[in-house]
Amino acid sequence: MKMYIGGEWVDRDSKIDVINPYNGSVIDTVPSGSFDDLETAMASAVRGAEVMRNMPGYRRFEILRRAADIMAERQDELGRTISMEEGKIIGEGVAEAERAKQTIELSGEEAKRLYGETIPLDGATNWTGQYGFTMRVPVGVVAAISPFNFPLNLVAHKVGPALAAGNSVIIKPATDTPLSALKLTEILLEAGAPAESIQCITGSGSRIGDPLVADPRVRKVTFTGSRDVGERICKTAGLKKVTMELGSNSPLIVMSDADMDKVIAGTVSSGFSNAGQVCISAQRVMASSDIYGDFVDALTEGVQGLTTGDQLDASIKMGPMVRSEDAVRVNSWIQEAVGAGARTTTGGEYEGALHEPTVVVDVKPDMRISRDEIFGPAVAVSSFDDIDEAIASANDTIYGLSAAIFTQNVDWAMQYAKQVHSGNIQINAGPQWRADLMPYGGLKDSGMGKEGPKYAVEEMTETKMVIFHP
């Protein structure tokens, strides 16, 4: 596909292959964007921001509403594109396309809800008859940098609110998975988005990322990706608003009174959907010591039910990772843990980008498979003696994105919700549950700011205070 900058679809001689990770075939190519291309995109986005700033909310709503309708019409094609370029199974690809449609629809609704408030200035001692209210105004140009693992919905979570709030947006999709973002751009333009309100520039983040983020014409950077790239962006961005949706090694706690069928279903789906490449995948799975042995047996059996192979084959339950280098990395972390005393009860092998779903038990907190974000199809299992130890272990991490507990005890559930430092707390479900309308974002090194269209619109607007004097 071509990239979209300066109000037109453009190609370049220098190209990047987009690969199907299951078989290494080239699905398509995209241009490798240059600094000149970035300048074209930036100058155009500045003009686009003026057009958007002056567009009525109802018109912004109509564009996003129409885009959602087109996404519904093209759902199967979008699902297949996601699945081909990213490697998730086709069912998950189509489900992501459906969620992305909802995200754009929800964003459209927010275009009609940019409320200010009346401020009771007469409550101040220096009031002499002033009347004041706030206005919410768009920030201007938004830079939206997205990761590979949800190549459509996470782009929708940035572009939808940016346009709803009356901004222009420059999308920089992940290099491994640019096609879904380009298709969303195509759909938004077809739905009536002004030519310069969107730019979608493809190319390496390590090359064009810094100048994009540092440019003073950008007023807001919304980033989803790894912790280290997020930290670099915060340093480069300088005096700009930033939203950081970063990684995690989410805990999943199994108390002795938990409903074991629910636990196994929740751990298998939370740990292994999208081959474990979800920011809120269950990674550190901790079970009460009095049920530990039974839990390990049941989890092992559950994970053995996951068939692996071609992600486009509807009978397959887990596809490849996005790159074969990631399968090598995941395997080396498993081997490192085994070398330090842990055991695998199932899985442990890989071929190309396809890594077997793996259960590693008797894991210690200082092993890399527990301490760092694995972002792959393996869970690290350990035990604890009581709720206080479970909570301390859940908190023993630099991350805080999502944390789950399975229990029938309301007091334990409430204690967990209050004491675990995490942006999302799941009671009786794995950490991976999300509804696109809810406020979503991490604490600690998992980031700052919230997504979910209502909350992202707040982050992409600024407040002006207006005071009328007598």
Residues with catalytic roles: 245, 279
Residue 247 binding ligand NAP, by CB under 6 A: yes
Distance of CA 360 to the CA centre of its chain: 26
Given candidates 226, 300, 415, 428, which one binds ligand NAP under the rule CB under 6 A?
A: 226
Bridge partners for 235 per DSSP: none
Q: Enter the DSSP assignment of 308.
A: B
Among 97, 144, 159, 174, binds ligand NAP (CB under 6 A): 174
Binding characters for ligand NAP, 146-165, by CB under 6 A (x = yes): xxxx----x-----------
Give the residue with the Cβ less far from ligand NAP, 232 or 364. 232
b/e per residue 129-146 (b: at least 16 CB within 10 A): eeebeeebbbbbbbbbbb
Judge contact between 202 and 3, C-beta under 8 A.
yes
By CB under 6 A, residue 16 contacts ligand NAP: no
Q: Residue count at the site for ligand NAP (CB under 6 A)?
A: 31
Query: Quick one: 361 or 460, whose CB is closer to ligand NAP?
Result: 460
Whole-number Å distance between alpha carbons of 383 and 290: 9
Q: Please tell me whether residue 397 binds ligand NAP under the rule CB under 6 A.
A: no
Residue 428 sits in the site that holds ligand NAP (CB under 6 A): no
Binding residue for ligand NAP, selected from 55, 82, 145, 218, defined by CB under 6 A: 145
Please select the residue that binds ligand NAP; options are 19, 84, 246, 327, rule is CB under 6 A. Answer: 246
Q: Which of 108, 194, 209, 266 binds ligand NAP (CB under 6 A)?
A: 209
375 binds ligand NAP (CB under 6 A): yes
225 sits near ligand NAP (criterion: CB under 6 A): yes
Residue at token pair 């074991």: 260
Count of helix runs (H) and strand runs (E) in the chain: 15, 22
Find out whether 27 and 15 touch, Cβ atoms under 8 Å.
no
Q: Which is nearer to ligand NAP, 191 or 321 (CB)?
A: 321
Nearer to ligand NAP, 121 or 443 (CB): 443
Interhelix angle 179-190/57-73, nearest 10 degrees = 120
**Which regions of 180-270 does DSSP assign to beta strands (E)?**
198-200, 218-224, 241-245, 251-254
List, in order, residues 6 or more apart from 425 with CB less than 8 Å away: 402, 403, 404, 405, 416, 417
Binding site for ligand NAP (CB under 6 A): 145-149, 154, 172, 174-175, 204-206, 209-210, 213, 224-226, 229, 232-233, 245-248, 279, 373, 375, 401, 442, 447
